[in-house]
Amino acid sequence: MKLYKLIILSRPKQWLKNLFVFAPLLFAGQMLNFDLAVKSLLAFLAFSFTSSIVYIINDIVDREADRAHKKKRFRPLAAGEVNVYESLIFALILAIIVVLILLKLNPIFAIVIGVYVTMNLFYSLKLKHVVILDVFIISLGFMLRVEGGAAAIEVPISSWMILTTIFLSLFLAISKRRAELTGSENDNFENQRKVLSHYDVVFTDQMNTVAVTGTIICYALYTVSSKAVSTFHTENLIYTTPFVIYGLFRYLYLLHRKNLGESPELIVTKDISLIINIILWFTFSFLIIYRNKIPGL
């Protein structure tokens, strides 16, 4: 029972965010390369365990504030189901596993993980209370996942892909703040998340307009960039852009009309329309990128 609560504390559902690690593998045209695929998988596991360590530390720091939240008070630490000592021991075990994984990957990847951990420690202790900077830190976390994925398989990464990642992750982070502002359970900002007092719905909507626009433009420009065209020998990747646009619009619909967005991982795994759209985007992208690598395509 205690182990189960520790696993819950590590938030494995959040590991979906670490799928960004595989983006360089897909867009480098190397998904069929077994050795590089294994390295990407190791990078995914390293980021997953590292993010779990960060969540544990964050919950230790926030355990008092979480007790004032109608949902977060059920987290293992806030509910008293595990104590700080047990949480730290579990985090140490995860850290040892991460170190063992890092020994098998490019040293640059280890540097990326180090930056990710340092940044999130500062976020947990101080920066999450700084308006605007808080969502930028979350965004940089996604960018580091992409950079880490590229470092693990030692491939260059497009500047347009980095920009797309930044805008997309800003959109997700800002949407989370908006959902926290409008959620019925969030009636005590001061005790739950202090930075929310600096935001309002209109402001977050304005920022999201910029983030969505930036995501669409940067992704579209990436698909027709000289690097993408020379790598894939086609401009057809532009035809995957409608899936990106639909996905963003669908997310906005769920955010505005269904008051969702506080848990992006739940939206991505439970909304059927969004799931189908992601599958279609991946299928078309794969067929366009790998059509010359698989006989019969």
| The residue to which tokens 């409008």 are assigned | 182
Residue 265 CA, distance from chain mean position: 9
Give the sign of the dihedral formed by CA 100, CA 101, CA 106, CA 112. Answer: negative
**pLDDT beneath 70, residues of the chain:** 1, 184-193, 261-262, 294-297
Q: Determine the pLDDT at residue 85.
A: 87
Q: Determine the pLDDT at residue 297.
A: 54
Q: Determine the pLDDT at residue 107.
A: 94
CA 68 vs CA 3, 11, 75, 206: distances in Å: 25, 20, 12, 29
Q: Determine the pLDDT at residue 185.
A: 53
Q: Determine the pLDDT at residue 78.
A: 78
Q: By the 8 A CB rule, do 199 and 182 touch?
A: no
Which helix (DSSP H) or strand (DSSP E) does residue 276 occupy? Answer: helix 272-290
Q: Determine the pLDDT at residue 26.
A: 92
Residue 28 CA, distance from chain mean position: 20
64 exposed, middle or buried (CB, 10 Å; 0-12, 13-18, 19+)?
Answer: exposed
Q: Determine the pLDDT at residue 73.
A: 78
CB atoms within 10 A of CB 92: 11
**Residue 113 belongs to what domain range?**
1-155
Q: Determine the pLDDT at residue 196.
A: 85
CA 156 vs CA 1, 16, 161: distances in Å: 45, 23, 11
pTM: 0.88
Same-domain pairing of 66 and 84: yes
**Domain end residue (candidates: 109, 124, 155):** 155
Q: Determine the pLDDT at residue 110.
A: 95
Same-domain pairing of 113 and 194: no
Same-domain pairing of 91 and 206: no
Same-domain pairing of 79 and 172: no
Q: Determine the pLDDT at residue 14.
A: 87
Same-domain pairing of 2 and 126: yes
Q: Determine the pLDDT at residue 155.
A: 92
Q: Determine the pLDDT at residue 191.
A: 55
Same-domain pairing of 183 and 269: yes
